[in-house]
C-alpha cells in the first residue's frame, strides 16, 4: 500500500493586494508539517504552482528550501515529489534536481519526452509516481502519457504496485469556483485551456492534479482523479474549505481511499455581505459590528449608487481603526449592472486568463485597426513559434 499527501498551488510569495502574506504561508507550511507527523505518508506530492511567480525573491526560496530540508531531517524515508506549474519556472526547478535527490526530494520542472525515466519516482515496495510538470500543449507529444504510463506499469507489474500520475492542468468539466473567468472564455482558467480527461491516458490508479483551487474529484464516483486545491485561500470567491488530501491505495487496480485534512486559515478572506452586494450604509453597519480581534482580509461588496461617498476606502479604514482586520479594495457593482457591463475592466487574473489572440483583438479594436483573418492567422503562427523557442531555451 502507498500513502500520499497530495497538495498543490501553494503560491509562495504571493501578495494579497498590498499585504505581504509570508507569515501566513509559513504557518500554512507548519500546519502541513504537523499533518506529515500525524499521517506519516510515504510520499508528499506537490502538483505545481509552488511559487506565485517564476522568479521569486530569495526569502521566499529560502522558506521552501528550509522547509523541505527540515522535513527530510525529521522523516528521512519521506519521498517528496514536486512538479512545476504554470506559475513556476520549470528550468529553475531543475537546477538543484541532482543534489536534492539525495534528500529524497524529486524536482521535476521540464518535460523530457525522450527520457521517460526522468518523470518516474519509484517508492520502494510502495508504488510508482509518474510526474509530469506543466508544459504548453504545443510541446506535449500526443502519445506521451500513454508511453509514460506503460513504463510506470511495467515497473509496477512484478509487485502489483499502485501507479500514481501527477499533472498540472485544467480538466474539462471541473468546478472553477475561485478563479476569475472571462466571459466567452470559460474554457480557459489561469491561462490554461481545458483538456479532456482522456488526454492523460489510462492505467493509473490515481491522477493527482494541480491548478484548480477548489478541492474536488473530476471523475465523480470514480474517485481516481482529484484536485487537492490550494491550502491557502487566494481569492475572495474561494468560499469553500481549504485542505490537503490524504490518499491511500492498496495495490494496482484498487480504488483509492481519500480523506481531506483541513488547513486552518491564519487570516481568512471575508466578504461583507457574505452573499451578493448591499448599499453602502448597510455594508458599513456590518463592518462596524465585525469582531475587533478577528484577523481577516475583508472585501466590501457595495452597490455603486448615489449613496457611495467619493472616498469610501478611507471611511471603511477609519471604521476599522483598532480592529485586527485588513480592508482590501472595494468590490463595486453598478446599480444597473447590465446597462454598464460594457464598462467593465479586466482584473489582473482575468487578463492572464485571456488567450493572446483575444488580447490582440481587444487592442486592435481599441486602436481602430482592422484585424482580419489573414492577420489573425499570422499572429497565431508567430505566437506558436515564440512558445516553441521559449520552451527550447528552457531545456
What cell was used for 171? 480538466
Q: Which of 205, 211, 60 is nearest to 133 (CA)?
A: 211
The reported pLDDT for the residue numbered 317 is 94
The reported pLDDT for the residue numbered 335 is 79
Span 163-181, average pLDDT: 92
**Packed helices 356-366 and 373-394: angle between N→C axes, nearest 10 degrees:** 130
pLDDT in tens, 273-331: 999 999 999 999 999 999 999 999 999 999 988 778 888 999 999 999 999 999 998 99
Give Cα 222 to chain centroid, integer Å: 23
298: three-class secondary structure by DSSP: strand
State how far the Cα of 54 lies from the Cα of 52, in Å rounded to an integer.
Answer: 7
| Block residue for cell numbers 481599441 | 366
Q: How many CB atoms lie within 10 A of CB 243?
A: 18
Q: What percent of the chain clears pLDDT 70, i.e. is strictly above it?
A: 90
| Block residue for cell numbers 475592466 | 345
The reported pLDDT for the residue numbered 84 is 96
Span 23-41, average pLDDT: 98
Query: Are 87 and 49 in contact, with CB atoms under 8 Å apart?
Result: yes
Backbone angles phi, psi at 186, to 5 degrees: -65, -15
pLDDT in tens, 201-211: 999 999 999 99
**Packed helices 58-74 and 22-39: angle between N→C axes, nearest 10 degrees:** 10
Residues 6+ apart with CB under 8 A from 237: 177, 178, 179
Does the pLDDT of residue 268 top 50, yes or no? yes
What cell was used for 236? 475572495
Helix (H) or strand (E) holding 314: helix 312-319
pLDDT in tens, 89-144: 999 888 888 889 999 999 999 999 999 999 999 999 999 999 999 998 888 999 99
What cell was used for 308? 457611495
State how far the Cα of 196 lies from the Cα of 194, in Å rounded to an integer.
Answer: 7
With bands split at pLDDT 50, 70 and 90, how would you rate the model's confidence at 183?
low
- pTM, two decimals, is 0.83
pLDDT in tens, 47-57: 999 999 999 99
The reported pLDDT for the residue numbered 350 is 62
Backbone angles phi, psi at 187, to 5 degrees: -80, -10
Amino acid at each position: 500500500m502507498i500513502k500520499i499527501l497530495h497538495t498543490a498551488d501553494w503560491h509562495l510569495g504571493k501578495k494579497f493586494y498590498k499585504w505581504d502574506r509570508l507569515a501566513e504561508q509559513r504557518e500554512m507550511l507548519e500546519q502541513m508539517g504537523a499533518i506529515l507527523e500525524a499521517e506519516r505518508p510515504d510520499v508528499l506530492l506537490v502538483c505545481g504552482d509552488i511559487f506565485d511567480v517564476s522568479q521569486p525573491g530569495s526569502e521566499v526560496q529560502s522558506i521552501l528550501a528550509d522547509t523541505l530540508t527540515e522535513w527530510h531531517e525529521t522523516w528521512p524515508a519521506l519521498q517528496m515529489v514536486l512538479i512545476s506549474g504554470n506559475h513556476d519556472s520549470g528550468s529553475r526547478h531543475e537546477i538543484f534536481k541532482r543534489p536534492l535527490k539525495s534528500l529524497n526530494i524529486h524536482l521535476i520542472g521540464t518535460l523530457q519526452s525522450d527520457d521517460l525515466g526522468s518523470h518516474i519516482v519509484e517508492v520502494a515496495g510502495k508504488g510508482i509516481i509518474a510526474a509530469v510538470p506543466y508544459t504548453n500543449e504545443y510541446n506535449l507529444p500526443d502519445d506521451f502519457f500513454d508511453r509514460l504510463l506503460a513504463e510506470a506499469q511495467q515497473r509496477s507489474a512484478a509487485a502489483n504496485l499502485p501507479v500514481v500520475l501527477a499533472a498540472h492542468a485544467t480538466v474539462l468539466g471541473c468546478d472553477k469556483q475561485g478563479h476569475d473567468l472571462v466571459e466567452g472564455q470559460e474554457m480557459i482558467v489561469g491561462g490554461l485551456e481545458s483538456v479532456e480527461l482522456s488526454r492523460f491516458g489510462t492505467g493509473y490508479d490515481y491522477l493527482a492534479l494541480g491548478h484548480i483551487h477548489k478541492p474536488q474529484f473530476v471523475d465523480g464516483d470514480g474517485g481516481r482523479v482529484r484536485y487537492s486545491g490550494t491550502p491557502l485561500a487566494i481569492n475572495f470567491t474561494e468560499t469553500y474549505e481549504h485542505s490537503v488530501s490524504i490518499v491511500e491505495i492498496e495495490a494496482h487496480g484498487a480504488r483509492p481511499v481519500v480523506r481531506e485534512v483541513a488547513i486552518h486559515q491564519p487570516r481568512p478572506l471575508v466578504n461583507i455581505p457574505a452573499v451578493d452586494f448591499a448599499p453602502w450604509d448597510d455594508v458599513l453597519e456590518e463592518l462596524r459590528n465585525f469582531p475587533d480581534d478577528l484577523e481577516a482580509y475583508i472585501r466590501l461588496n457595495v452597490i455603486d449608487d448615489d449613496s457611495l461617498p467619493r472616498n469610501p476606502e478611507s471611511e471603511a479604514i477609519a471604521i476599522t481603526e483598532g480592529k485586527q482586520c485588513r480592508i482590501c479594495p472595494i468590490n463595486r457593482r453598478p446599480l444597473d449592472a447590465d446597462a454598464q457591463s460594457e464598462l467593465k475592466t479586466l482584473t489582473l487574473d482575468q487578463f492572464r486568463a485571456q488567450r493572446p489572440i483575444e488580447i490582440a483583438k481587444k487592442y486592435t479594436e481599441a486602436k481602430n485597426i482592422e484585424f482580419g483573418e489573414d492577420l489573425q492567422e499570422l499572429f497565431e503562427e508567430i505566437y506558436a513559434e515564440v512558445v516553441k523557442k521559449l520552451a527550447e531555451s528552457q531545456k
